[in-house]
């Protein structure tokens, strides 16, 4: 491409470090779409003849076809996807191909291609996360009443319901989708026509190419246009946070499926056996989902460091944005799909959950609240009295609702048998009716509202 100035070929190692075709060939569909928009605009502006552009468009369509059928031979000596496509175009349409690069550069090309690619992936994530939310809503609704221990410090704290626990993730994923949507909004300005860095002297119509490619508008500064990678940084940051959410849930699945907890069961579909220990059923999909966050957060870190301190405008450093991004986005897609599968597959063991919900004096707060409500005790005093009752139950190895009334009355004589109405996990969760609380009626209401929202959004689009 630059044989005018150069006489010798690059060193083998130069070619190796320089070439990106090995990974950026993924951008071929976007590269062709952007070239078609550019060519059509050049014709409309009278910069190229209609005849040349007709040839170019036909040739580009043929290349896309060849790529889809796996027939395109990419060459490392042609460096990247942009030059591979252009070179193939030259073989197909001859002379006219050389005119396509008028008023553009690989710098605005790659920024445009990558934005188009990332935008597609963002749309894919939105749909995939919505599907995961729906799977959670389904499970939550089915088990809105199933009591289980709620934990703080991974110590039994207060009873909650299984449905309420799952709905917590629906909220997290909603924020994740919000972050992706936000990144998409800011991404959606078209760099094409910024050319190498300074714009062009040709009378191009940047609004036309922007519109043809589904962008809201062209980027307003040519230097910024070719040197900006915020769109992928933001996407990776959002992906990293999503991956953190998935890893937290995956960790819970790992814990819940242990013999010691036994809170849920995963079927053969989402577990593996051991080659030596016949009794084993391992939650590998959950473990790998838990692990993916490493690559995803790593990709974000990696690109931050690549971009740090880069002077304007384009530098070849920025070619390093792609491999880590592809890997991170692929990893997230896989993790979301695996999690969606596991959620549909998991069955809570309601008996085990019920027994665990009642252990660890988990309704102690309910007892203290009862003392406040019925005996008008200040909460601090109620906390103290309850502590003494818990100690008495613990000494006798009894659950709170198994401790005889007279033992409670020995500590606080005004306690009546009514207290037993609040000491079971079922009564405890039922009473948590404050907005956002775990009461089954709340959970059902939230699940229904989410189902409506998700169905409405998927019908729209």
The residue from 28, 42, 85, 110 that contacts ligand ARG (CB under 6 A) is 110
107 touches ligand ARG (CB under 6 A) = yes
Q: Which of 9, 38, 82, 274 is catalytic?
A: 274
Give min distance, CB of 187 to ligand ARG, in A. 17
- Range 68-76, long-range pairs (CB < 8 A, 24+ positions): 72/28, 74/21, 74/25, 75/21, 76/15, 76/16, 76/19, 76/21, 76/22
Give min distance, CB of 14 to ligand ARG, in A. 13
Give min distance, CB of 160 to ligand ARG, in A. 49
229 touches ligand ARG (CB under 6 A) = no
| Residue 274 among the catalytic residues | yes
Residues 7-46 binding ligand ARG (CB under 6 A) are 20, 24
* CB-CB contact of 81 with 25 (8 Å): yes
Instruction: Specify the residue, 109 or 442, whose C-beta has the smaller distance to ligand ARG.
Output: 109
Name residue 264's beta-bridge partners: 348
The neighbour count for residue 310, using CB atoms within 10 Å, is 13
271 touches ligand ARG (CB under 6 A) = no
Instruction: Specify the residue, 235 or 319, whose C-beta has the smaller distance to ligand ARG.
Output: 319
Give min distance, CB of 22 to ligand ARG, in A. 11
Give min distance, CB of 309 to ligand ARG, in A. 17
> Which residues contact residue 257 at a Cβ distance below 8 angstroms, ignoring those fewer than 6 apart?
263, 264, 265, 266, 271, 281, 283, 286
Instruction: Specify the residue, 171 or 323, whose C-beta has the smaller distance to ligand ARG.
Output: 323
| Secondary structure of 105-132 in HEC code, one letter for each residue | CHHHHHHHHHHHHHHHHHHHHHHHHHHH
Question: Which ranges constitute the DSSP H helices of 315-439?
Answer: 321-345, 350-358, 364-375, 379-395, 405-411, 425-431
Is the Cα torsion angle 290, 294, 295, 300 positive or negative in sign?
positive
Q: Nearest 5 degrees, angle CA 83-CA 233-CA 179?
A: 125
Instruction: Specify the residue, 20 or 161, whose C-beta has the smaller distance to ligand ARG.
Output: 20
* CB-CB contact of 81 with 113 (8 Å): yes
The residue from 38, 106, 245, 430 that contacts ligand ARG (CB under 6 A) is 106
For residue 421, give Cα distances in angstroms to 131, 308, 366, 416.
40, 61, 10, 10
Residues 79-98 binding ligand ARG (CB under 6 A) are 80
Give the binding range for ligand ARG (CB under 6 A) out of 102-110, 125-133, 349-357, 409-417: 102-110
Is the Cα torsion angle 34, 37, 40, 45 positive or negative in sign?
negative
Cα 243 from chain centroid? 6
Give the binding range for ligand ARG (CB under 6 A) out of 103-111, 349-357, 393-401, 436-444: 103-111
Instruction: Specify the residue, 24 or 86, whose C-beta has the smaller distance to ligand ARG.
Output: 24
| Residue 153 among the catalytic residues | yes
318 touches ligand ARG (CB under 6 A) = yes
Instruction: Specify the residue, 20 or 209, whose C-beta has the smaller distance to ligand ARG.
Output: 20
Q: If you search the block for the tokens 């939310």, which residue do you land on?
A: 133
Give min distance, CB of 291 to ligand ARG, in A. 29
Residues 43-62 binding ligand ARG (CB under 6 A) are none
Binding mask of the shown chain, residues 277 to 316, with x at each position contacting ligand ARG by CB under 6 A? -------------------------------------x-x
161-193 exposure pattern, b = at least 16 Cβ within 10 A, e = fewer = bbbbbbbbbbebbeebbebbeebbeebbbbbbb
Count of residues engaged in binding ligand ARG, rule: CB under 6 A: 10
Give min distance, CB of 119 to ligand ARG, in A. 17
Instruction: Specify the residue, 13 or 277, whose C-beta has the smaller distance to ligand ARG.
Output: 13
Max CA separation in the chain (angstroms) = 101
CA atoms of 53 and 46, how far apart (whole Å) = 10
> Which residues contact residue 138 at a Cβ distance below 8 angstroms, ignoring those fewer than 6 apart?
344
Give min distance, CB of 456 to ligand ARG, in A. 40
> Which residues contact residue 51 at a Cβ distance below 8 angstroms, ignoring those fewer than 6 apart?
none
Q: Which of 153, 201, 275, 434 is catalytic?
A: 153
133 touches ligand ARG (CB under 6 A) = no
| Residues annotated catalytic, as ranges | 153, 274
User: What residues line the site for ligand ARG (CB under 6 A)?
Assistant: 20, 24, 80, 106-107, 110, 314, 316, 318-319
């Amino acid at each position: 491409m630059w044989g005018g100035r150069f006489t010798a070929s690059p060193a083998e190692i130069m070619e190796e470090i320089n070439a990106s075709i090995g990974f950026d060939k993924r951008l071929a569909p976007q590269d062709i779409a952007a070239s078609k928009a550019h060519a059509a605009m050049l014709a409309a502006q009278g910069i190229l003849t209609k005849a040349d552009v007709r040839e170019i468009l036909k040739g580009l369509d043929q290349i896309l076809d060849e790529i889809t059928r796996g027939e395109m031979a990419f060459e490392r000596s042609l460096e990247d996807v942009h030059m591979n496509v252009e070179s193939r175009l030259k073989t197909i349409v001859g002379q006219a191909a050389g005119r396509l690069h008028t008023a553009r550069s690989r710098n605005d090309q790659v920024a445009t291609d990558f934005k188009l690619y990332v935008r597609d992936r963002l749309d894919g994530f939105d749909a995939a996360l919505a599907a995961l939310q729906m799977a959670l809503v389904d499970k939550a609704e089915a088990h809105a009443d199933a009591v289980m221990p709620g934990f703080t410090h991974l110590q039994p704290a207060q009873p909650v319901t299984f449905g309420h626990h799952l709905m917590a993730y629906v909220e997290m994923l909603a924020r994740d989708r919000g972050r992706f949507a936000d990144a998409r909004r800011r991404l959606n300005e078209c760099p094409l026509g910024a050319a190498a860095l300074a714009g062009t002297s040709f009378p191009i119509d940047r609004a036309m190419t922007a519109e043809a490619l589904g962008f809201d508008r062209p980027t307003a500064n040519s230097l910024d246009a070719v040197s900006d990678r915020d769109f992928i940084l933001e996407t990776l940051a959002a992906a990293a946070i999503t991956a953190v959410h998935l890893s937290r849930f995956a960790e819970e699945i790992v814990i819940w499926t242990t013999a010691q907890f036994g809170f849920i069961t995963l079927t053969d579909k989402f577990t593996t056996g051991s080659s030596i220990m016949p009794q084993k059923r391992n939650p590998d999909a959950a473990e790998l989902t838990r692990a993916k966050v490493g690559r995803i957060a790593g990709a974000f870190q990696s690109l931050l460091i690549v971009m740090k301190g880069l002077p304007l405008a384009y530098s070849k450093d920025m070619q390093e944005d792609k491999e880590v991004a592809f890997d991170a986005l692929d990893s997230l897609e896989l993790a979301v799909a695996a999690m969606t599968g596991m959620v549909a597959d998991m069955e809570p063991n309601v008996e085990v959950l019920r027994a665990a919900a009642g252990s660890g004096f988990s309704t102690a707060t309910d007892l203290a609240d009862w003392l406040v409500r019925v005996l008008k005790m200040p909460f601090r005093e109620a906390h103290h009295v309850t502590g003494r009752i818990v100690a008495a139950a613990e000494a006798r190895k009894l659950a709170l609702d198994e401790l005889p009334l007279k033992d409670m009355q020995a500590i606080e004589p005004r306690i009546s048998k009514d207290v037993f109405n609040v000491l079971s996990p079922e009564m405890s969760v039922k009473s948590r009716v404050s907005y956002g609380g775990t009461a089954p009626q709340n959970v059902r209401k939230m699940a229904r509202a989410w189902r409506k929202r998700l169905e409405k959004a998927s019908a729209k689009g």
